[in-house]
Amino acid sequence: MADAPLLEVTGLEKSYNVPVLSDFNFDLLPGEVHALVGSNGAGKSTFARILCGLTQRDRGDIRLNGRHHNPGSKRDAEHAGVIMVLQELNVIPTLSIAENIFLNRLPRNGGFIRYNNLHAQAAKALARAGLEGVDPATPAGLLGVGHQQLVEIAGALSQDCRLLILDEPTAALSDPEIDKLFENVRRLQSEGVGIIYVSHRMDEIRRIANRITVLRDGRRVATHKVGDVTSTELVREMAGHDLPERKQSARATGPVALRVNNLKAGPRVRGVTFEARHGEILGIAGLIGSGRTETLRAIFGADPKESGEILIDGKAVRIRNPKDAVQAGIALIPEDRKQHGLLLSQSIRVNTTLSSISNHASAGWLNADAESQTATAQCQQLNTRCHNIEQVVGELSGGNQQKVVIARWLARDCDVMLFDEPTRGIDVAAKDTIYELLRGLAAKGKAVVVVSSELVELMALCDRIIVMSDGRIAAEFLPGNWSQETITKAAFSSYLTESEGATAL
Amino acid sequence: MSLFKPRKLIEYAAMAAIWVALILLFGSLSHNFLSSRTFLTLANRIPALAVVSVGMTLVLVIGGIDLSVGSVAGLCGSLLGVLVLNCHMPFWEAVVLCLIMGLAAGTANGLVSVCLNIPSFIVTLGMLEVARGLAYLVTNSQTKYIGGAVEGLSEPVASFGVSPAFLITVALTIIGQIVLSRTVFGRYLIAIGTNEGATRLAGINPVPSKIAVFALAGLLSGLGGVFLTSRLGSADPNVGVGMELSAIAAVVIGGTSLMGGRGSVINTFFGVLIIATLDAGLAQIGASEPAKRVITGAVIVAAVVLDASRQRLATRLAQSFNVVKRNANTAAPTSPN
């Protein structure tokens, strides 16, 4: 099989004002997992979009099984057996899981949907994606982000597929869910399906991929067999320069900045107690659905609380809405920055000064110069890549968008900063900037709370890690006494001991 | 200076160009059209619709809608007649009461839709009926001739040729634009219209701003009603019927997005001018009333279709302007202002 490539790409070019792909060559064998890595804006997503018909190439040759492949639409591509699971969630929240999976090919009788047939097929598809036991009639909007992603993958797996493109498929998945995904990938591999795997996560690529192609600025830098190259080499090829070494020095932490006492809010936050100190980075680990995001949102007043107490610098504060929280000196950098963080159609300047607008105005009048100064200073400090501060944030890459959200809170100067998945969908180099930034914030005496699904990230970053399991804090770890195994075990603890309570949800 | 950013100026110029083109078109079709009389007629006809459209622009910017503006204008205009004729109230005192009436109606819209979380479409549809009904009640469903007592506001001032109402309208348009682009309140409106959830998570309480926008729209509708009654010289409970649709059309022609987050009061003013010019011009070339409506309808849709390409053009021109400016700046370092 190895002699006849499934996909062969030569001299592919695409530009939007600036070239995004130039003279790009690529090949994929049947049954191969070929990873595509590169910084944001390197051209990975554009390449994937061209293959699945969402974008048209400018020139170049794409052959699928020896035949020209030039799909005019996603539908064309799917007919040719090219299926993509998008990085951005594409789930319609009001439709059921089954309807989402089979939206473009609902089993029907005349104009009527055959629901029994649909649900049976959907249950099968869900089981293949590792979601057995989930009711296909559940509205997709009730699922967490991680499960929504698995639903998308289930949708892709339920179609006749020869080439599967996975773009950051694990961004929102927890470790057991990733294991299930990889089982699926391996099964497809054994069926001769070719898989293009776009990801920033080196450990996963090492687990699943056969070859790795590195993209930088729209060009192929190198293609390696997975065993022949180290992560450091890959990162260097992606970045084009060596990344500075991480400094891991013990920080002296100050007094308690944030104390949360027995917080209860909805089904996912069932009595959370913890504290975060000035100058400390506190990590919150846990499975998806264990209540980490909900805890942060409840503290911030984004969702109503049932009971519990929040103390800032030892004083109880009443937080009924985000405005109260911000006035108490709390900031929240949400997980879904496009929906909850940014004003996508507005400029970097407007987004940066949004929370500190009163500092950029006198008697209700905006001071445009002060705004520009703040936005410019923040862009420089965070090294945000943009044309100028008037650029619309929707045009920026994920990493740079995240920097704009962070810049907003830096401009506001909050003492307690809650980060929910701060590096989700962000490339390696930009992640490093974000880590440096978080360390810098802690060094300035801020209490930094980070929720992350990447244990490696938390372990590299945090002074202390607490683990949530089924709505409660299950364990606390200090550097030295943690490991992936102990943290994962803690994350599962409540689900194992209280299985009845867990399944009821 | 966000009011005079190159991009904005280009957009204003584009709208003005469309208006001028329309005038030249009618000028070539009818040799009487290009006269100062036409312009004066236009200037004295548009104030009511223009001030109502200022309020409508702000409402659309936050992603809401106000269908009650025409009825509220009708109610306030009727009230003016009743107060002056039946209560023998001095004109200016009556005007103040009418404005308070408009403000109250708008505040009611805002409170109900924001606090009870009901779509503004529904709430203001209700107010459309309520206010119109009240207009009939206060006038006993009769048109009342008032005459000179109210007409001063709409009569051309000898030295200018335009009425005080027109001057107030121009002033309110400029103030509206400044509020939108240069005040914290305006920034909140744009933020709320772009993404209310994200705005709330940025620590801003959207409720007061949203209520204030509906209150303002009501106030401006009240003023529109005063202008209408003043121009007609009589209190007619039917006045302002359908005005909400003309106002929405003017705002949308001016490039404000119905989805919220984007809008310009100055371009709305051009939208009003375009609608009024179309109306006057078509009448001048002898188009029948039905034909006028068909053409006006088509122009509204065409304007919105064109808007997308106009936006792109403005962005591109503004970018090339920025490049020129940057090149100039590299030669001489920028001063801190």
Beta bridge partners of A472: A469
What pLDDT, in 10s, does the model give residues A447-494?
A: 999 999 877 788 889 999 999 988 899 999 988 788 777 887 788 777
- A361 interaction partners in chain B (CB closer than 8 Å): 183-184
Which DSSP string corresponds to A141-178? GGS-HHHHHHHHHHHHHTS--SEEEEESTTTT--HHHH
Last residue of a domain, one of A391, A413, A435: A413
User: B203 and A412: CB-CB below 8 Å?
Assistant: yes
- Which residue in chain B is spatially nearest to A17 when comparing CA positions? B316
Number of compact structural domains in chain B? 1
Output the CA–CA distances (angstroms, integers) from residue A192 to A55, A158, A185, A388, in the order listed. Answer: 26, 16, 11, 47
Torsion on CA atoms B191, B196, B198, B200, rounded to nearest 10? 100
What pLDDT, in 10s, does the model give residues B66-93?
A: 999 999 999 999 999 999 999 999 999 9
- CA–CA dist B96, A364 (Å, integer): 26
Helix (H) or strand (E) holding A15: strand A7-16
Predicted pLDDT of residue A217: 78
Average pLDDT (A413-433) is 85
A76 and A148 both lie in a single domain: yes
What pLDDT, in 10s, does the model give residues B124-136?
A: 999 999 999 999 9
Residue B107 domain-assigned (yes or no): yes
Say yes or no to pLDDT of B210 above 50.
Answer: yes
User: A408 and B202: CB-CB below 8 Å?
Assistant: yes
User: A346 and B194: CB-CB below 8 Å?
Assistant: yes
Give the closest residue to B240 by CA, choosing from B258, B252, B222: B222
What pLDDT, in 10s, does the model give residues A83-106?
A: 888 766 678 888 898 988 888 788
Q: Identify the weakest region by mean pLDDT among A288-292, A393-397, B142-146, B285-289.
A: A288-292
Banded model confidence at residue A250, pLDDT cuts 50, 70, 90: low
What pLDDT, in 10s, does the model give residues A40-78?
A: 567 888 898 899 888 888 989 999 988 889 888 888 888
Last residue of a domain, one of A213, A239, A265: A239
Percentage with pLDDT > 70 across chain A: 92
Residue B27 domain-assigned (yes or no): no
Residue B105 domain-assigned (yes or no): yes
Residue B221 domain-assigned (yes or no): yes
Residue B113 domain-assigned (yes or no): yes
B235 to chain A, minimum CA–CA distance in Å? Answer: 38
Phi and psi, residue B140, nearest 5°? 55, 35
Banded model confidence at residue B311, pLDDT cuts 50, 70, 90: low
Say yes or no to pLDDT of B2 above 50.
Answer: no
Predicted pLDDT of residue B331: 42
- B194 interaction partners in chain A (CB closer than 8 Å): 343-346
A257 and A354 both lie in a single domain: no
- Sequence length of chain A is 505
CATH number at residue A64: 3.40.50.300
Say yes or no to pLDDT of B21 above 50.
Answer: yes
- Smallest Cβ–Cβ distance between A366 and the set B183, B200, B204 belongs to B183
- B187 interaction partners in chain A (CB closer than 8 Å): 350, 354, 357, 366
Residue A369 domain-assigned (yes or no): yes
> Interior CA angle at B122 toward B118 and B128, to 5°?
135
Last residue of a domain, one of A214, A239, A264: A239
A65 and A163 both lie in a single domain: yes
What pLDDT, in 10s, does the model give residues B231-283?
A: 999 999 999 999 999 999 999 999 888 888 889 999 999 999 999 999 999 98
Average pLDDT (B39-64) is 94
Percent helix, strand and coil across chain A, each to the nearest 5: 40, 25, 35
Residue B80 domain-assigned (yes or no): yes
- CA–CA dist A275, A284 (Å, integer): 11
Say yes or no to pLDDT of A501 above 50.
Answer: no
Residue B287 domain-assigned (yes or no): no
A235 and A299 both lie in a single domain: no
A424 and A471 both lie in a single domain: yes
- Smallest Cβ–Cβ distance between B201 and the set A302, A358, A388 belongs to A302
A77 and A163 both lie in a single domain: yes
Residue A152 domain-assigned (yes or no): yes
Banded model confidence at residue A497, pLDDT cuts 50, 70, 90: very low
Q: How far separated are the first and last CA of chain B, in Å rounded?
A: 10
A79 and A180 both lie in a single domain: yes
A425 and A503 both lie in a single domain: yes
- B185 interaction partners in chain A (CB closer than 8 Å): 364
A433 and A445 both lie in a single domain: yes
Say yes or no to pLDDT of A247 above 70.
Answer: no
Predicted pLDDT of residue A338: 86
Residue B208 domain-assigned (yes or no): yes
Give the closest residue to B52 by CA, choosing from B302, B271, B225, B194: B225
- Smallest Cβ–Cβ distance between B184 and the set A321, A325, A364 belongs to A364
Which residue range(s) make up the domain with A87? 7-91+143-239
User: B261 and A343: CB-CB below 8 Å?
Assistant: yes
Which residues on chain B place their C-beta less than 8 Å from a C-beta of chain A? 1-2, 182-188, 190-191, 194-195, 197-205, 261-262, 322, 336-337
Predicted pLDDT of residue A319: 94
Banded model confidence at residue B326, pLDDT cuts 50, 70, 90: low
What pLDDT, in 10s, does the model give residues B172-190?
A: 999 999 999 999 999 999 9
Residue A122 domain-assigned (yes or no): no
- Smallest Cβ–Cβ distance between B183 and the set A341, A342, A364 belongs to A364
The rounded mean pLDDT for chain B is 88
A319 and A464 both lie in a single domain: yes
In terms of pLDDT, which residue wins out, A154 or B204? B204
* For testing contact with chain B, the best of A343, A353, A373, A390 (most B CBs within 10 A): A343
Question: With helix as H, strand as E and coil as C, how does B259-283 read?
Answer: CCCCCCHHHHHHHHHHHHHHHHHHH
Residue A356 domain-assigned (yes or no): yes
Number of compact structural domains in chain A? 3
Say yes or no to pLDDT of A149 above 80.
Answer: no
- CA–CA dist B55, B187 (Å, integer): 16
Residue A134 domain-assigned (yes or no): no
Banded model confidence at residue B157, pLDDT cuts 50, 70, 90: confident
- A325 interaction partners in chain B (CB closer than 8 Å): 203
- Smallest Cβ–Cβ distance between B201 and the set A322, A350, A366 belongs to A322
Residue A104 domain-assigned (yes or no): no
In terms of pLDDT, which residue wins out, A483 or A119? A119
Average pLDDT (A232-257) is 65
- Which residue in chain B is spatially nearest to A336 when comparing CA positions? B198
A387 and A498 both lie in a single domain: no
Residue A117 domain-assigned (yes or no): no
Q: How far is CA A395 from the centre of its chain?
A: 18
Predicted pLDDT of residue B171: 97
Average pLDDT (B140-166) is 84
- B191 interaction partners in chain A (CB closer than 8 Å): 343, 346, 350, 354
A28 and A59 both lie in a single domain: yes
- A354 interaction partners in chain B (CB closer than 8 Å): 187, 191, 199, 202, 204
Phi and psi, residue B206, nearest 5°? -75, -15
Predicted pLDDT of residue B9: 82
Predicted pLDDT of residue B148: 79
Beta bridge partners of A307: A264
CB neighbours of residue B138 within 10 Å: 18
- Smallest Cβ–Cβ distance between B198 and the set A343, A357, A365 belongs to A343
Residue A409 is which amino acid? W
Residue A44 domain-assigned (yes or no): yes
- Which residue in chain B is spatially nearest to A388 when comparing CA positions? B322
Predicted pLDDT of residue A111: 84
- CA–CA dist A427, B307 (Å, integer): 37
- Smallest Cβ–Cβ distance between A354 and the set B182, B202, B205 belongs to B202
- Please count the residue pairs, one from chain A and one from chain B, whose beta carbons lie less than 8 angstroms apart: 83
Q: By three-state DSSP, how is residue B16 classified? A: helix
Give residue for tokens 């009618």. B26
